[in-house]
A and B are shown apart, each in its own frame.
Chain A
């Protein structure tokens, strides 16, 4: 077999090097997010298809509180901004700003969950539970699964906030903030689609 020209070999090695330059942790978190896309994508696809098959569920959808959903969207979008600021602070070695931004992100996440719990209580008071029909089963499954993801993000960010208070843990923090940020933004993107699907359709 004829050997490849030197410039082709160099080009191939350069591509290989650039792939290897991606940190393993970053590739791992993107794989994890890809699997999450399949989980939420499958549920959302089922919801859309069943909704089309059942005439749109307009009567049921009229009972959801879109104003509360809009407020929670505002909260989550703002938390994405504070998380992005935390990542920038980590890269800039600005520990004080990182701690403030992480704490704000945690507090905004808790606000989201608190408002969601209040919304669930309003619906439950009207007798609208996961057993009230297919629409409500989908509603509670989709928003409940998303809320569990928000809770997981809050826990991770809280531990990073605690760790960021110790300077000895700083090198470990910087990389993990990036991964936690990717996860948190993904949870925000899921809500960006859930809000119009569930509340505005």
Chain B
């Protein structure tokens, strides 16, 4: 991994700490949005947006995907793509068929 070859352990530890602080801040932001009296659809969009950012932070930094070979991106992202396509394909039949 590129990161481990070029960064000192102290620098990596500092980055890990900053990522953790961001994760906690995003968790707190999601909870604040949840308890605020705002339209539910807006609150859901913000809460899931925060969750997506948290997931990207963990995957890119703690799982080191930002410094990995593109092959690992393909392995990781292909099932996510399949899952999204299948969910969208089933949406008209299950969710909207009353």
Q: Which residues of A contact B (CB under 8 A)?
A: 18-19, 21-22, 26-27, 30-31, 33-35, 37-38, 41-42, 44-45, 48-50, 52-53, 66, 70, 73-74, 77-78, 80-81, 83-85, 88-89, 91-92, 94, 181-182, 185-186, 188-189, 192-193, 195-196, 200-201
Contact = CB atoms under 8 A, between A and B. Distances in A.
A200 B62 contact: no
A200 B47 CA distance: 8
B87 A22 contact: no
Contact of A91 (B4, B30, B75, B78): B4
11 contacts: A34-B75, A34-B76, A34-B79, A37-B80, A37-B83, A38-B83, A53-B94, A85-B13, A89-B9, A196-B30, A196-B51
A22 B17 CA distance: 27
Interface of B: 4, 9, 12-13, 16-17, 19-20, 23-24, 27, 30-31, 34, 44, 47-48, 51, 54-55, 58-59, 61-63, 68-69, 71-72, 75-76, 78-80, 82-83, 86-87, 90-91, 94-98
